[in-house]
Structure 1
Amino acid sequence: MKRKLGILFVLLTGLVCLAGFILAPDGFDIKLTNQTKHKISGLYVTYEHIRTDIQIPPIAPGEEYSLNVDPAQLSKEDFDEAALLLKYKDHQGKIHTEYIIGYFEKGYSGEASITINSVSKTGKIEVDIQEDTSVY
């Protein structure tokens, strides 16, 4: 009886681990929250060797926008490693860069939360970024 319970326990544990591996999201889930009183537009997400930058639609005050960035789907064939970046232009046309995920490779996954706290008169945004990356 103990042996059957042991085998059953090992099988159930294996199934749970396999289900977690199969159901794990691919890439990075990114959530942007606009906590300003202004509509935020002109943001895009990019990284080296991406086929096309990911344009983020305008985000109204108090609203959230979520997206998934899957390097397996979005990268050129020569992709090896990169940093995930949030970019935008201020009112003078100067490009600003914020690091969402400082380093990732093929097969990495995770999530990031970007909170837009304020916008200056010149169009520079102030953000807080929290990220959690996994190599699995």
Structure 2
Amino acid sequence: MRFQYAFQKIVDLKSNERTQAEWMLSSAIGKLQAEEKSLGELLDIRESMVKQLQEAAGQCVPVSMIQEIQAYVEYLDQCIRMKHVDVNRANMKVQIQQKHLSTKMLDENVWLKARDKAKTAFQQQALLHEQNELDEMATVRFAMGARAR
């Protein structure tokens, strides 16, 4: 006799939900990393533009060029502020997905433990049934042996 858990399809469903939650978390982490990389690039560009602005201030450069560089630095500052918002939003999404995954993992573990308990109970029942059959065979042999004497 083989163990078949009556709720195996639910266990499989919970496992699939956990896998899907892992994928969603992985995707959210990837987006967060992309946003952080983009922010880093903006910061690097801003830093190089500030250096250019400082160098231009020390040299004889037209005021219009200095104003263009300053306007671009201000534009970069605005982009950096918006990118910080994007990074924070992506970070919140990662946290939400982590909570979602932990919920799905907990749910799956509940069903796995229930299946394990059912399997243990099945195995104990099978051992008890086998022991009863062995006891019955021993009783029959003893009774046959007693009659033969």
What TM-score results when the alignment is normalised by the length of structure 2? 0.29
Between structures 1 and 2, the one with greater helix share:
2
Between structures 1 and 2, the one with greater strand share:
1
Task: Answer 1 or 2: higher relative contact order, Cα 8 Å, separation at least 6.
Answer: 2
The structure with more radius of gyration: 2
What TM-score results when the alignment is normalised by the length of structure 1? 0.31
